[in-house]
Chains A and B, each alone.
Chain A
Amino acid sequence: MARATSRTRIAVSTAAAWIVGLAIFFPILWMVLASFKTELDAFAIPPKFLFFDWTLENYGVVQKRSDYVLHAYNSIVIAGGATLIALLIAIPAAWAMAFAPTKRTRGTLLWMLSTKMMPPVGVLVPMYLFFRDVGLLDTRAGLIGVLCLGNLPIVIWMLFTYFKEVPKDILEAARMDGATLAKELIFVLAPMSVPGIASTLLLNFILAWNEAFWTLNLSSADAAPLTVFIASYSSPEGLFWAKLSAASTLAIAPILVLGWLSQRQLVRGLTFGAVK
């Protein structure tokens, strides 16, 4: 009896969960399908779900007409550069705060967190003027700098929570065995921190890839990453759905894969350890 009810229960909850999951995922699926349609089919009423002439044409056109590769390259350089630089700055700081905390550490950490809460629009004007005056508008270097600083608090926080979990006993044991600080860092701490650092890298790369305030306001053409490139499809409405879909699919596919890999860290990274 109990087994029967639990079977029905599993069937019901499975069906419900799949319906909900598919509904939430549907816009993405619909977009990917549209990217393989001709423009006419993408626009067709009634909509064509699976039975249409599948074509790869849009992907070719997107590249030819709009230089997709340049913008993808910009996204990679900007998101990658910003994240790597932030990591280089943050690793020593997070390490020090986790392993040699002082009275001020807690206050420092919370203050760092609070800088992330400043709405970017509050400093849009001076940042824009500064970028204009020093010639950083529409440059990759400028965007790397801004996104690096913008994500630095999250990077430090995530690293801090990971470093905190490295068991102190092991470090002490290494010290007892006469390991110098350098050796302790390289042979004990580094290997144990790799997973945490990798997760931090992944999540912040995703955040920087999708950042769409500074990129929209501070770049237009040469340094424009994919967020800005996609936004350029907002004006010619109607006839470019399949191409918009192809460009969008290319823009989100790599990040979707990375995102799925880092879903566990998402909770931790974005709640600053407030939910575990």
Chain B
Amino acid sequence: MATRQTQILGRSVTAPSVLLLLAWSLAPLAATIYFSFTYYNLLNPASGQFVGIDNYSYFLTDPAFLASLKNTLVLVGSVLVITVVLGTLVAVLMNQPVIGLNIVRLMVIAPFFVMPTVSALVWKNLLMHPVSGLFAWIANSLGLHPIDWFANAPMLAVILIVAWQWLPFATLILLTALQSLDGEQLEAAEMDGAGPFSTFFYITLAHLARPITVVILIETIFLLSVFAEIFVTTGGGPGLATTNIAFLIYSQALIQYDVGGASAGGIVAVILANIVATFLVRLVGKNLEA
């Protein structure tokens, strides 16, 4: 244990971080809560009166809310399934003896470092364009009818883009975890006559359970806030087809200037994220003790 003097010193050098984060996490949130109970429209000077829970009942009963809640769940759920399943397979593949693994690894992680606006626009124009995109050409060459992604399957298009961005994250974490898997255990299983499939399911997957949980929780936190990809590709449309909660709140605040309604939505988003965050913090906290 540290001496009294170092403890005082320690506390005083920790204080700036604590105070800044305290201000950052409380002040805007308090303001959001306050706004969420007032009538406040940037276009209407007669704003500011207390309206109780009107904003909440308006936001929660707005059909756009249900649509965007559904879209959020579809987006988060699909990206999670794609990245975890493919991520596990790619990680297992990369854990095999591969010549030039370092280069393969570089190629696999690269999408994670591409800024969201770039990946969204490259996918939208160069790959998914219904006439001149590469996918359309591939479909035509195979004698299929090309898909007009952003008109006919806009949500699927957004899901693919976001999944491409997050696949490297899942792969990298699962690969790191696989590399810590005891080789002897696998050999023992093989000696005992376990086939590749039972080895995979009973040993590899069991070993990956925890890292997969970590991937799911961390990705969920970020995926609940997907914004830029929607902002530059679909603008939430067509209609509400790709509006998630983050985008709905943004458009309510900065397009419709309904500060009160957007604030109520913001609080709903905070509550949703908190449910996930509680699990993650608990998981990390357990690890901190060990």
In whole angstroms, what is the CA distance A31 to B27 when docked?
42
List chain A residues, Cβ under 8 A from B21: 112, 115, 149, 152-153
Report yes or no: B98 in contact with A248, Cβ–Cβ below 8 A: no
Q: Which residue on A lies nearest to B266, using beta carbons?
A: A122
Closest-CB distance, A264 to chain B (whole angstroms):
9
Is B153 an interface position by the 8 A CB rule?
no
In whole angstroms, what is the CA distance A263 to B112 when docked?
10
A211-244: CB near B (< 8 Å → 1, else 0) gives 0110011000000001110110110011001001
Binds A, one of B57-65, B130-138, B181-189: B130-138
Q: Among the listed A14, A115, A230, A266, which residue makes an inter-chain contact with B121, where contact means beta carbons less than 8 Å apart?
A: A230
Report yes or no: B267 in contact with A24, Cβ–Cβ below 8 A: no
In whole angstroms, what is the CA distance A228 to B117 when docked?
8
Of residues 106 to 155 in B, which have CB atoms within 8 Å of A's CB atoms?
A: 106-119, 121-127, 131-132, 134, 136-137, 141
Is A120 an interface position by the 8 A CB rule?
yes
Binds B, one of A58-66, A101-109, A186-194: A101-109
In whole angstroms, what is the CA distance A118 to B114 when docked?
23
Closest-CB distance, B92 to chain A (whole angstroms):
10
In whole angstroms, what is the CA distance A241 to B111 when docked?
19
In whole angstroms, what is the CA distance A20 to B32 when docked?
45
Is B158 an interface position by the 8 A CB rule?
no
Closest-CB distance, B25 to chain A (whole angstroms):
4
Report yes or no: A122 in contact with B267, Cβ–Cβ below 8 A: yes
In whole angstroms, what is the CA distance A33 to B109 when docked?
19
Of residues 30 to 80 in A, which have CB atoms within 8 Å of B's CB atoms?
A: 30-31, 34, 42-47
The contact size tier of chain B is 35 or more
Report yes or no: A274 in contact with B108, Cβ–Cβ below 8 A: no
In whole angstroms, what is the CA distance A191 to B254 when docked?
48
Report yes or no: B108 in contact with A21, Cβ–Cβ below 8 A: yes
Task: Report how many residues on chain A are interfacial, defined by Cβ distance under 8 Å.
Answer: 100
Binds A, one of B3-11, B74-82, B197-205: B3-11
Interface centre among A28, A119, A128, A234 (most CB of B within 10 A): A119
List chain A residues, Cβ under 8 A from B20: 89, 149, 152
Is A141 an interface position by the 8 A CB rule?
no
Q: Among the listed A30, A127, A234, which residue makes an inter-chain contact with B127, where contact means beta carbons less than 8 Å apart?
A: A30
Do A237 and B113 contact each other (CB < 8 Å), given the known contacts A118-B270, A124-B262, A266-B172?
no
Q: Among the listed B32, B97, B274, which residue makes an inter-chain contact with A13, where contact means beta carbons less than 8 Å apart?
A: B97
Of residues 247 to 275 in A, which have CB atoms within 8 Å of B's CB atoms?
A: 248, 251-252, 255-256, 258-260, 263, 266-267, 270-275
List chain B residues, Cβ under 8 A from A45: 131-132, 136-137
